[in-house]
Amino acid sequence: MTKSLNKEPNQQTQTHQENPWLEIVKTVATAAILAFGIRTFVAEARYIPSSSMEPTLEINDRLIIEKISYHSENQNVGM
């Protein structure tokens, strides 16, 4: 019987380990870009600070405004 000589027993695989600070910066940058994109194009949280919309909305009511349908439809402005 012959043994395969293709593999060396002491061969170590080298793994590239990234700098932890660089990983933190990448994570924070990705989170900031996602948060900006979601808030700009998808949804935004709002609250009602005054009684200008009573009786429909009360003071300090919290809302989530959906923006996708606004961007996808043609808006007709009345004159």
Q: Two tokens at 33?
A: 């870009």
Q: Is 67 exposed, middle or buried (0-12, 13-18, 19+ CB in 10 A)?
A: middle
Q: Which of 4, 50, 52, 69 does the annotation list as catalytic?
A: 52
Whether 50 is catalytic is: no
Separation of alpha carbons 37 and 15, rounded Å: 34
Active-site residue set = 52
